Chains A and B, each alone.
Chain A
Amino acid sequence: EPEVTQTPSHQVTQMGQEVILRCVPISNHLYFYWYRQILGQKVEFLVSFYNNEISEKSEIFDDQFSVERPDGSNFTLKIRSTKLEDSAMYFCASSESRPTHSPLHFGNGTRLTVT
């Protein structure tokens, strides 16, 4: 079964450093997403991406965050200057079609620890 793959599985960084989280969505999917989950809390939407541009973003997704699809397979999330409160599990996900028509498929996640 096709999978969403994420690397690295765990990233430790110092406050103020830049991090890039990488994802390869399922190949025939057109919609890509980043979600995060702080330990013990709910899954929170960050951003969705379709047709090479951001479709929607949440209040969490401020100027410190950016996404890119640099080639035909990778989808990245960059955090420019990490804060302690950015520590969370970051999930990349993709869907074949819009949320009203198809489910979301998640990668295994990247656990980001900011020290």
Chain B
Amino acid sequence: RKEVEQDPGPFNVPEGATVAFNCTYSNSASQSFFWYRQDCRKEPKLLMSVYSSGNEDGRFTAQLNRASQYISLLIRDSKLSDSATYLCVEGSGTYKYIFGTGTRLKVLA
């Protein structure tokens, strides 16, 4: 089983829609997770850190379900500028961050 798994998408949604991505992880002891946004040929940029049950920042909400070992990202009122790849990242207990493959989102006008 892969350490961090994401549906690659693409998710095509109309402007204004609510969209949710899930990410599953295999290490039940993991404590910290992050969502990053990556635009084409650019560096990943931190969107949100998730250390406990969840986090909210404006239109973005992340939730951590430890029992089922998944993290979700909810985007409300999608904007055209939200089109990007969203990366789920596990902050492992060792000295590395483990990346999922990313989920592509396209917000359509």
A interface residues (Cβ-Cβ under 8 A, vs B): 31, 33, 35, 41-45, 48, 50, 55-56, 58, 89, 91, 95, 98-109, 111
**A49's closest neighbor in chain B, by CB?**
B95
Q: How many residues of B contact A (CB 8 A)?
A: 26
Q: Are A100 and B91 in contact (CB under 8 A)?
A: yes
The 8 A-B residue pairs whose C-beta atoms are closest, nearest first, are A99-B91, A55-B95, A106-B43, A48-B95, A56-B95, A43-B99, A42-B101, A45-B96
A-B contacts, 17 listed (Cβ < 8 Å): A31-B95, A33-B96, A43-B99, A56-B94, A58-B96, A98-B91, A98-B95, A99-B94, A99-B95, A100-B32, A102-B91, A103-B49, A103-B91, A104-B89, A106-B44, A107-B43, A109-B43
Q: Are B44 and A99 in contact (CB under 8 A)?
A: no
Residues of B within 8 A of A106 (CB): 43-45
Q: How far is the CA of A108 from the CA of B100 in the complex (A)?
A: 20
Most chain A CB inside 10 Å of its own CB: which residue of B45, B91, B96: B96
Which of B41-86 touch A at CB < 8 Å?
41-46, 49
Q: Are A56 and B87 in contact (CB under 8 A)?
A: no
Q: A35-B99, A99-B90, A100-B31 are in contact. List 14 more A-B contacts (CB 8 A).
A: A43-B87, A44-B99, A48-B95, A55-B94, A95-B97, A98-B91, A98-B95, A99-B32, A99-B95, A99-B96, A103-B34, A103-B46, A104-B46, A109-B42
Tell me how far the C-beta of A69 lies from the nearest C-beta in chain B, rounded to whole angstroms: 15
Known: A48-B95, A48-B96. A91 touches B43 (CB 8 A): yes
Tell me how far the C-beta of B67 lies from the nearest C-beta in chain A, rounded to whole angstroms: 20
Q: Decide yes or no whether B12 CB sits under 8 A from chain A.
A: no
**A6's closest neighbor in chain B, by CB?**
B43
Q: Which of B34, B95, B102 contacts A42 (CB 8 A)?
A: B102
Q: Are B95 and A104 in contact (CB under 8 A)?
A: no
Residues of B within 8 A of A107 (CB): 43
Q: How far is the CA of A105 from the CA of B45 in the complex (A)?
A: 7
Q: Decide yes or no whether B13 CB sits under 8 A from chain A.
A: no
Residues of B within 8 A of A35 (CB): 99
